[in-house]
Structure formats: C-alpha cells, structure tokens
C-alpha cells in the first residue's frame, strides 16, 4: 500500500514535526510558518481543529504532549518553549520557558509528567521540573555535547533522558544525588545524529543519522549474563545492529512503535521505511528486516514520522513539501 489514507494540507511552509496525543486521537504538527496545528478525525476525514499561530516568532521545530494529554509543549527557533493548556476547547499558552541562547530544537516529557527536557543549538540540554499551577523550574543545565543538540527523548518508564547531537553522539543522563549527569555516551555514527527512539521496554534505543544509517543500541545492566563490564555500577549501552545501504540521504527521524515493535524512518530521499526484528533473532546481535519502503512518500524530504500510540499500524509523516500524511500499515503486522 503506497498511498496515504489522508493528506493534510494547511501549513504554509515546511512541516518539521508531528506528534500524537497519548490517546492517539489528536495529531499535532508544527513548522516554518511559525504555527502549530491540531488535527482530529471528524467522521471519515481528518480536519484541522485548531491553529496556534501567534505565540512563536520563528519556526516551531518540535511539539510534545504530556503523558496526561492535558498539556502540549512547543519548541521554537525563537529560543523559547511554550506550554499550552489543552484541557478546554480554547487552547491557551500558560507558560513560556526561556533561557536557551538560541534555537530550541526539541522538547520531551518524562513518563511521570513531572519533568520536561529541552535542547538547543547552544549545545545544552535543560531539565525542567513541573510544579503546580503551570510553574516550570529549570533544575539542570547540561552542556555535555560539543555541538548543536538535535533531539531529546525520555525513557518510556524511568527518569532517564537521551539526547542526540551534531557532534555525532547520543548521550544518556540520569539523576544521581539530586543532580543530572551523563552516564553513557553512544559513539559510532559518522555524522550528525538527528533522532532517537526507545523501544517499548526502554532497554533498546534506535538512532538515525546524517551518515544514512540506523543504529540499534542495547542496555546492559550491572550483573548482566553476557558478561559486559559495567564500570561504576552504571548501565552500559552497546550498538547491537547497524542498518546501512537502505537510505540514500540523511535520515531525519525514527519512531519505534510500542504496539508492534516496528521501526519507521523518514529520510531526505523522500521515502518512509519500515523495519522489524526477525522473530528468532539473537538478542545480542538482532537482525532487522526491511519490511517496506514507500518511495516518494512525499514530494520532498520527510522530516518526521510517528506511530499512533493506540491504533496499530497508523503512522503520521511530515515533509518539506508542507503536507502531513497518514498511513495505514496494519496489514503488514
């Protein structure tokens, strides 16, 4: 099936990111036209319900929903992150997080909903604590990368944070004695790491890069049976699989489905690809098969892909061509 089930138009410039709310009923998109759009299904059609266009003065690069589904965060090149209260029909901006020196590239919520992370071209990752009444307090500024930080994601259950950077590495952070710090650096990519995604267990992480490869990293805890050394009692992450030769240009985003275990990638060659681990793979050297390549998924670079958290096989993608597409891949599972 290489035709989309829906094409959503409305953005006036490239769309950078798409994100589903936790219930999977609302798709949020953002882009270079400085706006955020919320789309939901009305009958058989997907309709744009809300356009938030006044709050950011430059490109909106990324949007993320809190686990409760009541709050949306948006990160912008204008160096701010806006927090939106989505409980009512009328969505309002209730807080603006300032502090980064330049473009904010990504924002992510912890599973508990009590923490938020942001990252920027200023090379730092900031961790914010969410207090009541829309109060956000920065509890840590982590200047750990040596270059522009492209993406932050939280572990699906624990308070572990991962960041991907122009410096070709991924870093993992955790809180120890009231302070956040890096406990592991994943090196191996030969160019900018654009995006990362944990699997549903949180023991594996997929990373995609400008070097046109996908890498799968696995966690080895202290006392692991494989005999992997874990210095200082910290978990160690190793690259257990590299998928190369499939993508023709930089890979901008990856989404690891929590329902099916499938990995979707969005690439600068206009294609979307779906990979899945072979059923009897060696857990320490897993083999991933390319299940499907959608050629010309969009007319230009595909910047973002995200699996719906509740509907199996439903994928959203966003592109430089200004459109968002919805795909139904349920038949391949």
Partner 1 sequence: MRIGDKLENLNPQVFAEADQRKENPSDWDDAVRDPFDGREVFDLIRSIRDPEHPLTLEQLNVVSEEQCEVDDAGNHVKVLFTPTIPHCSMASLIGLSVRLKLLHTLPCRFKVDVVITPGSHASEAAINKQLADKERVAAAFENPDLLSVVNKCIAPRPLAASVG
Q: Report the residue number, 77 or 256, with the smaller CB distance to partner 1.
A: 77
Q: Report the largest interatomic distance among the alpha carbons of the chain, rounded to a whole angstrom.
A: 56
Q: How far is the CB of 300 from partner 1 (least distance, A)?
A: 6
CA–CA distance from 130 to each of 7, 33, 134, 138, 139 (Å)? 36, 29, 7, 9, 10
Q: How far is the CB of 121 from partner 1 (least distance, A)?
A: 7
Q: For the CB of residue 72, give the shortest distance to partner 1 in the complex, in Å.
A: 22
If you count them, how many residues does the chain have?
333
Name the E strands within 14-143. Answer: 15-20, 26-31, 36-42, 45-52, 60-65, 71-76, 81-85, 92-97, 104-109, 115-120, 125-130, 136-142
In the complex, least distance from residue 165 CB atom to partner 1, rounded to whole angstroms: 12
| Cβ partners under 8 Å of residue 218, min gap 6 | 203, 204, 237, 238, 240, 283, 284
User: What are the φ and ψ backbone dihedral angles of 331, each rounded to 5 degrees?
Assistant: -70, -15
**Residue number, 244 or 296, with CB nearest to partner 1:** 296
| Shorter beta-carbon distance to partner 1: residue 103 or 277 | 103
Residue 91 · residue 50 · CB < 8 Å = yes
CA separation for the pair 304, 52 (Å, rounded): 20
Phi, psi of 215 (to 5 degrees): -120, 140
> Shortest gap between Cβ of 241 and partner 1 (angstroms)?
26
Closer by beta carbon to partner 1, 56 or else 215: 56
Cβ distance to partner 1 smaller for residue 32 or 308: 32
Q: Which is nearer to partner 1, 28 or 59 (CB)?
A: 59
Q: Minimal distance in Å, beta carbon 325 to partner 1?
A: 17
Contacts by 84-87, CB closer than 8 A, 24 or more apart:
84/36, 84/52, 85/134, 86/21
* Residue 306: CB minimum distance to partner 1, A: 18
Closest separation in Å from C-beta 204 to partner 1 = 26
Cβ nearer to partner 1, comparing 25 with 102: 102
Nearer to partner 1, 210 or 219 (CB): 210
Q: From the CB of residue 2, how many other CB atoms can be counted at a distance below 10 Å?
A: 11
The contact set with partner 1 (CB under 8 A) reads: 14, 32, 58-59, 61, 77, 102-103, 105, 121, 148, 150, 166, 191-192, 210, 249-250, 268-269, 299-301, 320-321
């Amino acid at each position: 099936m290489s035709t989309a089930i829906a094409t959503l138009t409305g953005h006036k410039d490239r769309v950078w990111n798409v994100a589903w709310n936790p219930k999977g009923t609302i798709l949020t998109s953002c882009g270079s036209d400085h706006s955020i759009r919320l789309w939901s299904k009305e009958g058989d059609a997907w309709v744009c319900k809300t356009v938030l266009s006044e709050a950011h003065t430059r490109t909106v690069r990324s949007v993320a929903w809190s686990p409760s589904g009541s709050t949306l965060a948006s990160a912008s090149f204008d160096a701010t992150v806006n927090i939106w209260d989505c409980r009512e029909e009328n969505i309002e901006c209730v807080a603006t997080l300032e502090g980064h020196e330049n473009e904010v590239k990504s924002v992510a919520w912890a599973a508990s909903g009590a923490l938020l992370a942001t990252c920027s071209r200023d090379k730092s990752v900031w961790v914010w604590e969410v207090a009541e009444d829309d109060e956000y307090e920065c509890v840590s500024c982590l200047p750990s990368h040596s270059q522009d930080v492209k993406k932050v994601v939280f572990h699906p259950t624990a308070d572990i944070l991962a960041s991907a950077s122009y410096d070709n590495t991924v870093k993992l952070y955790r809180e120890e004695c009231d302070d956040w710090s890096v406990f592991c650096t994943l090196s191996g990519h030969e160019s900018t790491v654009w995006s990362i995604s944990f699997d549903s267990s949180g023991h594996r992480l997929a990373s995609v890069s400008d070097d046109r490869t996908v890498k799968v990293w696995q966690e080895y805890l202290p006392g692991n049976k494989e005999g992997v050394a874990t210095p200082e009692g910290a978990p160690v992450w190793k690259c257990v699989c590299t998928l190369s030769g499939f993508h023709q240009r930089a890979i901008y985003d990856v989404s690891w489905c929590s329902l099916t275990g499938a990995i979707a990638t969005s690439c600068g060659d206009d294609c979307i690809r779906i990979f899945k681990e072979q059923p009897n793979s060696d857990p320490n050297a897993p083999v991933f098969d390319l299940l499907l390549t959608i050629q010309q998924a969009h007319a230009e670079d595909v910047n973002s892909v995200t699996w719906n958290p509740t509907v199996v096989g439903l994928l959203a993608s966003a592109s430089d061509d200004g459109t968002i597409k919805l795909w139904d891949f349920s038949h391949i599972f």
